[in-house]
Amino acid sequence: MIGILSSIITAKNILKPISETAQAAKAISAGDWNQELPTSSIKELNSLRQSFNTMARQLKKSFQDLEYAAYHDCLTGLPNQCSFRKTLEKTIADNKLTPNLFAVLFLDLDFFKFVNDSLGHLAGDVLLSEVARRLETCVRSNDIIARFGGDEFVILLNNTKSKNDAIAIIIRIQKELQKVFTINGNAVFINTSVGIVFSDLYPMSGEEMLKNADIALYQSKNNGKGMHTIFSKEMSLMSKNRLLLEMDLRQAMERKEIEIFYQPIFSIPEKDIVGFEALMRWRHPELGLIPPDIFIPIAEEIGLINSLGWWVAREACQQLKKWHEQFRECAGMKINVNFSGKQFFESNFIEQIQEILITTRLQPHNLSVEVTESIFIKYTDVMRDKLLELNRIGVKVSLDDFGVGYSCLSYLKDFSIDILKIDRSFTQNLAGNSKIVAIIEAIILLAAKLDVEIIAEGIETEEQLEMIQYLGCCQGQGYLFSRPLEARQCERLLKDFFQPFLNDDQFLPFRHNNQQSHQKANFQNY
Ligand code: C2E
Ligand code: CA
Ligand code: CA
């Protein structure tokens, strides 16, 4: 009896708790983390259970942390790519049962690279976190924002009532992100390009929706940054053509398909033509005129940019010399040529410039080499030397696109810069923006002190011109004056400008010396 009784007690007090512990351990290994064992009256067993419970809790926390890390972006705390893809697939599946309009947005920060390159990666990280916070204020509680990596974000707009509602959210986002960011005491401006795909276009998998939103984003960037584009079926065809485009570009020079357009630069307020900016175009036999934003990145990627760039420099100098000879009033006019960073790294960079000037017989001070700030940031020492050499031989240097990303005024004093080109994002945001007005005012004052000329880019309206003039900027270019023109159109423009009475057809966008108030250009070239 005693034997039987002691077996029962042993089974109840010792074997049962041990088997419960074993079962809990089994449950944990099967993924059920919520295992908490009760205390036991036997000291040794109790200690075993407490250790087990601590271990179970720690395991649960570790796995929860792992799970969180697997589905969230550690910098911004937003859901990551993997999590977004899962949510999107689930939304698509649910949508089959109860159809609702939803949209996927692909966002990319324009000029983020400038911030990273100029202020450093830590500042870039601060900017990304701030962007994430601002995005959260622009969407509704049932929308999902995720960071896809780098400066790319995606948003799932759930149950959108109409496409206009989605567009309104996008505009809100773009406005919010256009406001100044203060990063480590520096004022930073960015733009956001957005690609959108709506769920009602045709049945798409999550992967397809993301790919299509990305294609629309690419289109937005090519349309001039800071834009939004809705994906259409035609766009998918275009993206397939990129590979073909690359193959065609390799033969474009030989086939003489690359052309140069010239955009006049005007003095303010006189509105005299003081020079031209040479802008590359590709006249594709099937696709028509392709803008440089599409093919220059491809040319850079496949190593064609140097030969294209030097060809433009030579042709443009030759063309200006021709105009100098044709119209004596043109003698002081300059030609501004855009240079890719890669061109500066050719060992005979200066020799090539000199050779072009000798063969075209153009005076060095009539050539202005345009470089963007990003090249300075990346290759500070090399650029300092190259610009000094340009300065020594008398060629002018223009700092292009000033005002995008991080605009560093110290370049004006540290490098031999003759001209500063204020980016069109500044010019076009002047009206009603006292901060931008103050910045431009300061830039113009400083530039005057350092003997640096200023050209305002992208002047499209009378209002912008008035503001620019009021701020004391003496030169400008933009659609209000003239779009970029073919060489033969420029020739007519110059004729009309300098010999107005010989020309019957009034081609000018506006008349010289304010004989007639200027009208918007009525000729479209692309
Ligand atoms: P960029 O150097 O900033 O050139 C000015 C761009 O602004 C040109 O675009 C011009 O057409 C456009 N633009 C001028 N006025 C206005 C305006 O009032 N409103 C608006 N919205 N836009 C205006 P484009 O010709 O498409 O050139 C784009 C970029 O391609 C250029 O920007 C330049 O970075 C690059 N590029 C063009 N030609 C060359 C070249 O020969 N070599 C290199 N490396 N880059 C080039
Ligand atoms: Ca330029
Ligand atoms: Ca520019």
Average per-residue pLDDT for the chain: 87
Ligand 1 atom 12: the closest Cα is on which residue? 458
Please report, for residues 130, 259, 447, 480, the alpha-carbon distance to residue 486 in angstroms, rounded to integers and kept in the order given. Answer: 44, 8, 32, 17
What does residue 167 show for φ and ψ, rounded to 5 degrees?
-60, -40
Least confident of 99-113, 400-414, 472-486: 400-414
Take atom 17 of ligand 1 and give the residue whose Cα is closest: 458
Q: What is the mean pLDDT of residues 512-520?
A: 37
Is residue 344 predicted with pLDDT exceeding 90? Answer: yes
Pocket test for ligand 1, best of 369, 373, 457 (most atoms within 8 A of CB): 457
Determine the distance separating the centroid of ligand 3 and the alpha carbon of 371, expressed in angstroms: 9
* Ligand 1 touching residue 279 (CB < 6 A): yes
Q: List pLDDT tens digits, range 459-485.
A: 999 999 999 999 999 999 999 999 999
pLDDT tops 80 at residue 358 = yes
Give the closest ligand to the alpha carbon of residue 401.
3
CA of 441 to the centre of ligand 1 (A): 24
Confidence of residue 406 (pLDDT cuts 50, 70, 90): low
Residue 13 CA to ligand 2 center (angstroms) comes to 86
Instruction: Assess whether pLDDT exceeds 50 at residue 487.
Output: yes
479: exposed, middle or buried (Cβ count in 10 Å: 0-12, 13-18, 19+): middle
Q: Alpha-carbon distance 363 to 366, whole Å?
A: 6
- C-beta of 292 in contact with ligand 1 (< 6 A): yes
Q: Which of 316, 250, 256, 260 is nearest to 292 (CA)?
A: 260
Q: What percent of the chain has pLDDT over 70?
A: 93
Q: Please tell me if the CB atom of residue 263 comes closer than 6 angstroms to any atom of ligand 1.
A: yes
Residue 154 has pLDDT above 90, yes or no: yes
**Neighbouring residues of 351: CB distance < 8 A, sequence distance ≥ 6:** none
Compute the distance from residue 400 Cα to the ligand 2 centre, in Å: 5
Query: In terms of pLDDT, which residue wins out, 90 or 510?
Result: 90
CB 56, CB 35: distance < 8 Å: yes
Which residues are bridge partners to 107 per DSSP? 153, 194
In the predicted model, what is the mean pLDDT of residues 333-343?
A: 96
| SS3 category, 381 | helix
Mutate to test the pocket of ligand 1, among 279, 397, 479 (most ligand atoms within 8 A of CB): 279
pLDDT greater than 50 at residue 508: no
For ligand 1, atom 46: residue with the closest CA: 338
479 CB under 6 A from ligand 1? yes
Q: Ligand 1: does its nearest atom lie under 6 Å from the Cβ of 291?
A: yes
Instruction: Inform me whether the pLDDT recorded for 509 exceeds 90.
Output: no
Ligand 2 centre and the CA of 337: distance in Å?
A: 7
What's residue 506's pLDDT? 46
- Give which of 488, 483, 486, 491 is closest to 509, Cα–Cα: 483
Choose among 80, 19, 73: nearest CA to 45. 19
pLDDT value at residue 525: 31
Model-wide pTM > 0.75: no
Decide whether any atom of ligand 1 lies within 6 Å of the 423 Cβ.
Answer: no
Q: Ligand 1 in contact with 364 (CB < 6 A)? A: no
Preceding omega of 269 cis (within 30 degrees of 0):
yes
